[in-house]
Amino acid sequence: MDTHLSPSGRLVVVSNRLPVVLAKDVDGTWVTRTGSGGLVTALLPVLRHRGGIWIGWSGVNEVAGVDEALERATDDTGYTLKGVALNTEEVNKFYLGFSNEIIWPLFHDLQSLCNFDPAYWRTYCEVNRRYAKILADNSCKDDFIWVHDYHLMNVAAELRLTQSRAHIAFFLHIPFPPLDIFVKLPWRFNLLRALLEYDLIGFQTLRDQRNFEQCVRTLMDEVCVSGQGQVLSLRVGDRVLRMGSFPIGIDSNAFEKHAIDPEVGAMAELLNSQLSNRQLILGVDRLDYTKGLPLRLEALRNALQRYPELHQRITLIQVVIPSREDIPQYFDLKMRIERLVGEINGQFTRPGGWVPIHYVFRNLTRVELLAYYRAAHIALVTPLKDGMNLVAKEYCACSVEEDSVLILSEFAGAAAQLQNDALLVNPYDIEGVADAIYHAYNMDVTERYARMRRLRTTIREQDIFWWVDAYLRAAFATDLSAFPLPEDFVPHDDFAGIPY
Ligand code: ADQ
């Protein structure tokens, strides 16, 4: 998988957070637990094999004892963890401020929610400089440096100021917005110039890549884009860099294997028996305005109004994972969701019997999450915009009976790969989503099998290990024609509802 790295080169990963969670033991010493996300699963084996470093914020404000705890966590692993210290003000202005009150809404096409506070930008630059300094002190020119996500877009530019010539690549996990939206950013030129200091810029989808390309072509005279395929070449003065789209996958095998655990199976069976043979519709989302939860609930209400035969035959279990509740917008969103759930349940519940929406607001254990995935007959994944959306892929991987249906927003990155076999919907179209619910409910089992089998095959073939491999190949390949466009690619200005 990692044969593309230069022979002596280590892998240096840089992300906002380290891949471990720190907590205090009863005696006050720090203990660490390895995170469980797909990125961690994919990159830790490469780090173990090649050696390397993961640089990121520890997630705690204290510094005493943290370095020692991180050293203990990687004693015999062959790689090291390097913490970046952030104080409370930096967390507020860099993380909650610039990253989550500006870039997050703007890049999800919700510019009216942005708070373009100039102080946020200054702290973002300072914190990115700190990451770059730690990177400069801990890497050498043969290393392959891989920076992740929107919190750290300035790191390459800051690193170049230290005269570093290391190979430095970037992957954006969230969407890249269209030109008309991107230009609202007061620091649009600074940010584009900073991104162009990377050697490879990776996006989730061709659509994100094309948005970036249009911004660069329109706003930066000195940039020349060339190439035909999925990985393009950009010349900026005497520098040449690359950009490409690499849809992130999941550790599909691990999900499939865990989904057939007896404990998961028993819980899934219990869930279904409690729903008395109704079809279970599942939503699992972090509390976030990009996930389209109020519109999804309105769509369910619309389906129940227009298709009375669905009464008592379907139940929506909507799981909302608590997130950023101390931010007023998120707290308001939670209130809105809870009011809607109350209204819809008030409208349709039959006392002593059917309740159309079961609302769960808490973190789930892994067994619970997998049991919900496995038990559900239909998944409703309807974000207004999403870089990829891993829940859609995890749901399919866990649908081991292969008789379930995925309803997916055409504005989720995952739709580029799953569009042929999911039921694609526009999340803003309440009647359209309601029709998709009705369609999914009535879909016969032969069609369900055929669609879900193909979805699972795609997800299995393009898993997280395939993604790491494709990214590293694009970084080091000498011949970019090895990256042709997909056969169903839609030409540049042709929007046919297909999310490239
Ligand atoms: P993320 O929020 O990191 O987003 P997303 O794709 O939204 O990832 O998936 C959510 C993840 O949370 C899933 O992996 C799911 O299993 C997990 N999860 C669900 N319930 C949980 C729980 N109770 N506790 C802990 N984890 C839970 C960013 C972008 C996405 C992109 C990903 C990956 O915003 O668009 O898909 O990165 O690139």
Residue 232 pairs with which residues in a beta bridge? 243
Residue 324 sits in a domain whose CATH number is: 3.40.50.2000
- 298 shares its domain with 446: yes
What's the pLDDT score for residue 428?
98
Measured by CA distance, the residue closest to atom 2 of ligand 1 is: 286
Q: Are residues 257 and 239 in the same domain?
A: no
Same domain, 243 and 277: no
Give the Cβ contact number of residue 196 at 10 Å.
Answer: 20
For residue 363, give the DSSP letter: P
Asked if the structure places residue 466 within a domain, the reply is no
Query: How far apart are the C-alpha atoms of 363 and 474, rounded to whole Å?
Result: 37
| Residue nearest ligand 1's atom 33 by CA | 173
Same domain, 302 and 398: yes
Name the domain boundary from 217, 249, 281. 249
Ligand 1 shell residues, CB under 6 Å: 173-174, 248, 284, 286, 321, 363-364, 369, 386-391, 394
**Which residue minimizes the CA distance to atom 37 of ligand 1?**
173
Q: What is the torsional sign of CA 396, 398, 403, 406?
A: negative
- For residue 377, is it within any domain? yes
Chunked mean pLDDT (size 10), the chain, 500 residues: 57 95 90 82 84 93 89 88 95 96 97 97 98 95 94 97 91 97 98 97 95 96 89 94 96 96 97 91 96 98 98 97 84 96 96 92 96 98 97 98 97 96 98 98 98 98 94 88 70 47
Final residue in a domain of this structure, among 223, 249, 275:
249
Q: What pLDDT score was predicted for residue 173?
A: 96
Instruction: Give me the number of domains the chain comprises.
Output: 2
178 and 281 in a common domain: no
Ligand 1: centre distance to CA 265 (Å): 23
Atom of ligand 1 at shortest distance to CA of 368? 23
Minimal-distance CA residue to ligand 1 atom 25:
363
420 Cα: distance to centroid of ligand 1 (angstroms)? 23
Specify the length of the chain in residues.
500
Residue with CA at minimum distance from ligand 1 atom 9: 390
- Rg of the chain over CA atoms, in angstroms? 23
Contacts 24+ apart (CB under 8 A), 294-298: 294/333, 294/336, 294/337, 294/340, 295/382, 295/384, 295/427, 295/428, 295/430, 295/433, 296/380, 296/382, 296/427, 296/433, 297/337, 297/340, 297/341, 297/344, 297/357, 298/340, 298/430
> How far, in Å, is the centroid of ligand 1 from the Cα of 239?
35
Residues 209 and 315 in one domain: no
Q: Ligand 1, residue 204: give the atom nearest the CA.
A: 38
Question: Do the domain assignments include residue 85?
Answer: yes
Is the domain of 241 the same as that of 349? no
Annotated catalytic residues are 173, 386
- For residue 174, the model assigns a pLDDT of 97
In this structure, are 152 and 281 located in the same domain? no
Candidate from 106, 288, 381, 390 with most ligand 1 atoms within 8 A of CB, to mutate? 390
Specify if 1 maps to a domain.
no
Whether 309 maps to a domain, the answer reads yes
Has residue 333 been placed in a domain?
Answer: yes
Domain co-membership, 286 together with 201: no
SS3 (DSSP) at 170 = strand
Same domain (yes/no): 222, 80? yes
Residues 256, 236: one domain?
no
Asked if residues 225 and 234 have their Cβ atoms less than 8 Å apart, the reply is yes
Give dist(CA 355, CA 426) in Å, integer: 26
DSSP for 3-65, written as a single string: TTS-TTPPEEEEEEE-SEEEEE-TTS-EEEEE--SHHHHHHHHHHHHH-EEEEEE-S-S--TT
C-alpha of residue 403 to centroid of ligand 1, in Å = 24
Q: Please say which residue of 224, 249, 274 terminates a domain.
A: 249
Query: How high is the pLDDT of residue 4?
Result: 46
**Looking at the domain assignment, is residue 267 inside a domain?**
yes
The verdict on 337 and 211 lying in the same domain is: no
Q: Assess if residue 469 is contained within a domain.
A: no
Expressed as residue numbers, the domain containing 402 is: 252-461
